[in-house]
Amino acid sequence: MKRTHLIIILLSSFSIIYAQKKMECKYYKDIWQSQKTSETKGKYKECTEFENDSIKHITFTNLSAQQVLWEKKYVNDRPAGIWNFYNDNGQLKYQMDYNFTLKYGKFKPDGYCAVNPITHKLLEDGMEGTFEMPEYGTSNKTDVAYWIFDQVRYPTKAQEKGIQGKVILQFTIDANGEIGNVSILKGVDEDLDREAFRVIYRIKHVKPGKLNNKEIPLYVECPVNFRIQ
C-alpha cells in the first residue's frame, strides 16, 4: 500500500513539473523576424520554453540548415544568464553576459585620478606631465566610445516603447588595467540601464592609463546614448 502511494506521489510530482514547462513556437520568412508566417512556409523558427511563470528560454533556428542562430534567457521579462549567438556553421560568434546585479550610486576610491573620456584629460589638480589614455578592446582605441558603439545592442523592449535617453555610468581602472566599481550615476529605464551596465561590465580588462610612463589608477564617468533613428 505504501509503495502504491509512493508511485502516485512521484507521478503527481512529475505531472506538476511537466505542466509547468510549455513550448510556444513562431515562424518567420526572414531572419529579422519582420514577416511572420505559417509553420509550412516558415524559414526560421522562434521557440519559447516557459520554465515557469517567470523564466523563459528562447531559441531562434534556421530551418533550412537546422542550425540554432541564437539562444536567450529571460527572468521576469528581463535579460538573464548568457546569451549565445552562432554563425551559419554553428560556431559561437559572440556572447552577451547578463550575470550581474545592477548597481546605482557614485563611488570614487581614494588615490584614483578622475579622467574625462571625451577630452582625454585628467581632472585632478597637480597631475602634470605626459598622460596616456587606457586602450579598450582589441582595436587599441583610447576612446571608450568605440567600445560602446561596437558592443551596445538597443533593447528591443525599449525600442518598441520608444524609450531613449542617456545613461551615465562610473567605473574605475586600476594600475593593472582591471575594470571595477561599475555603477549607474544617472539611469533612464531599467532595460537601457541594464544594457549600458552590461557593455561597461564586459570590458573586464584594458591597457592601463599612464602618467609620465607610469601606470596610474583612474576613475571614469561615461555616457551611453540610446537614440531611436
pLDDT digits (tens, 9 = 90+) for 154-191: 998 899 899 999 999 999 999 999 999 999 999 999 99
- Report the distance separating Cα 186 and Cα 224, nearest Å: 10
Q: What's the pLDDT score for residue 5?
A: 53
The whole model's pTM is what?
0.76
Q: List pLDDT tens digits, range 72-115.
A: 999 888 888 899 999 888 899 888 888 888 999 999 999 999 99
Instruction: Locate 18 and state its grid cell.
Output: 511537466
**pLDDT tens per residue, range 36-70:** 999 999 999 999 999 888 899 999 999 998 999 99
Q: Which residues contact 27 (CB under 8 A, 6 or more apart)?
A: 36, 37, 38, 39, 41, 42, 44, 45, 46
- Alpha-carbon distances, residue 3 vs 15, 17, 74 (angstroms): 18, 21, 40
Counting beta carbons within 10 angstroms of the beta carbon of residue 224, is it exposed (0 to 12), middle (13 to 18) or buried (19 or more)? buried
110: left (phi over 0), alpha (psi -120 to 50) or beta: beta
Q: 58 or 7: whose pLDDT is higher?
A: 58
Average pLDDT (1-16) is: 49
Task: Tell me the pLDDT band of 194, cut-offs 50, 70 and 90.
Answer: very high
CB atoms within 10 A of CB 43: 16
